[in-house]
Structure 1
């Protein structure tokens, strides 16, 4: 555990590479993935995105579970024993998961001061918020200033994603404001976004090829002319994800400033709710 006076905690849906989280001193608590009757931490090999995609295709039951308040209390107390005086706990939207609620409940019983932040985002957009908090702490910011930095970055970040079917979002109850699309879902390829912490419908296109092109256009529009970090994520759709990544590396070369678009498979928890074939792009302005 890091020996710092202020420690940033997030959850595994933030999709931060383990090396990057360690480098920035961010501590990650995993959610659980349940495949059939077996429950695994999201970072366990048994809960890989590939296994989730296979289970979904085979119509095996796949669900997810938040960390318990007790798991958060245990983590917070371990950090306190390692020297943490204050903790900033940054999590995915409370409207999409009970993770933030678990963190809040645990904060009341923790042996150290814990400030909890609902990023109102999902996936790597929450990760960018946690990174902003860690960077602020590294510059000597207070926990309140770090929380402000995280929230500002989360609010400035745009997420867009295409799903082959809304069925998986419907099953998990995460469809939010995109509910109205269900009636004609077979006839369209929906492009979705996150609006105030919930999934909402942005546009409808007729083919997956048009969806991919539109994701690139939306990412370029969101980036504008400012410096940004960009990530592409997918579940069991590597060829299209790589094509989108190459396109954005070229289109946003100036805004990326020599950095590369991240491209990875979406985490198992998010993958369980969006389903195979999903492509997502996240654009986050750098502060």
Structure 2
């Protein structure tokens, strides 16, 4: 492919999509009690969730260094790519996009960085769209446009058992966390323009799953959609989402991907996360 596509480990792309679309992944770092590990390589979801539950282990995350991106970009260019499109975790949540842009600046116009304004498969769907465009021989501007178009057609909602972990990580403010924990309210969040915002409140986890289904159906509009369902130590919630959405969307539901989110999201969301990412397919030409 004339254009290579790079993403980061928080896309949580299924292995088959990584292989088929020849995507390159740069991992973020998870720090457990001062010990660093690369997400998906050295540190996994269970490591973070066990640490969070123990309350005796500090958990934090850090972006890749610009030099990690620079090495990746140079390697792909040296291997024959004419350009690189790099699609990453929302700049509202992480310095990953900033690090990628610092690295890209040293390589002129051969590398461009796209802010997904999301996480999980909210990054993954745009990265796949970019790779699909690249596979047709599209040039760098067209591949970048494919990624940005997919960003605009992708919506992410997620249910949390508590806002405490987002508050600890500085992803929301203390007032929002207090609102979410008052009277045992369960929060449902979404990501307008890349920031995490309280979307709704429910009383129980089952109502949270039901509300996620309603929101996902609403976000799908009247077009064909792909779905990604992420969870953290809550596979039954992901399965409930899959079954309910399959029944509600019927023939409009094309591809569905179910996976556990990784250690970076685990560090900030905590056990119990249930997430649905809706990717609206573009109209078929003609």
User: Is residue 6–residue 85 contact of structure 1 (8 Å, CA) maintained in 2?
Assistant: yes
Question: Matches of 1:228 and 1:154 in 2, distance apart?
Answer: 14
* Equivalent residue, structure 2, for 1:136: 133
**After the TM superposition, which residues 212-227 of structure 1 pair with which residues of structure 2 at under 5 Å, given as runs?**
212-227=209-224
Structure 2 residue aligned with 1:42, among 39, 44, 48?
39
Residue by residue over 1:142-196, the C-alpha shift from the partner in whole angstroms, topping out at 9 and shown as x without a partner, is 21111111111112211111111111001111126x9535245232111100010
| Counterparts of 2:191 and 2:175, CA distance in 1 | 13
Equivalent position of 1:53 in the other structure: 49
1:16 is paired with a residue of what secondary structure? coil
Deviations 1:192-220 (A, max 9, x none): 00010100111111111111111111111
**1:24 counterpart (2, 21, 25):** 21
Task: Show the counterpart of 1:33.
Answer: 30
Question: Which secondary structure state, in structure 2, belongs to the residue aligned with residue 154 of structure 1?
Answer: helix
Give a deviation string over 1:22-76, Cα, whole Å, max 9, x none. Answer: 21121111111111121111112x4111111111000111111110001111111
Partner of 1:282: 277
Counterpart contact for 2:2–2:134, Cα < 8 Å: no
| Moved >6 Å (runs of 4+) | none
Counterpart position of 1:270 = 265
How far apart are the structure 2 equivalents of 1:275 and 1:181?
14
Match of 1:122 among 108, 111, 119: 119
Q: Which runs of 5+ in 2 are unaligned?
A: none
Match of 1:225, SS state, is coil
1:67 aligns with 2:64: yes
Question: Equivalences for 1:1-287 in 2 at 5 Å?
Answer: 4-44=1-41, 46-59=42-55, 60-110=57-107, 113-175=110-172, 179-183=175-179, 185-187=181-183, 188-257=185-254, 259=255, 261-287=256-282
Distance across 2 between alignment mates of 1:183 and 1:249: 32
RMSD value, Cα: 1.6
Counterparts of 1:199 and 1:272 in 2: how far apart (Å)? 15
Q: Is the 8 A contact 2:2 2:137 kept in 1?
A: no
More moved, 156-165 vs 238-247: 238-247
User: Quick check: 135-144 or 28-37, which moved more?
Assistant: 135-144
Q: Could you state the TM-score of these two structures normalised by the residue count of structure 2?
A: 0.93
Deviation string, structure 1 residues 115-141 (Cα, Å, up to 9, x no partner): 111111111111001011111112222
Q: In 1, Cα distance between the equivalents of 2:47 and 2:126? A: 28
- Provide Cα deviations, 1:72-116, integer angstroms capped at 9, x if missing partner: 111111111111111111111111100000001001223871111
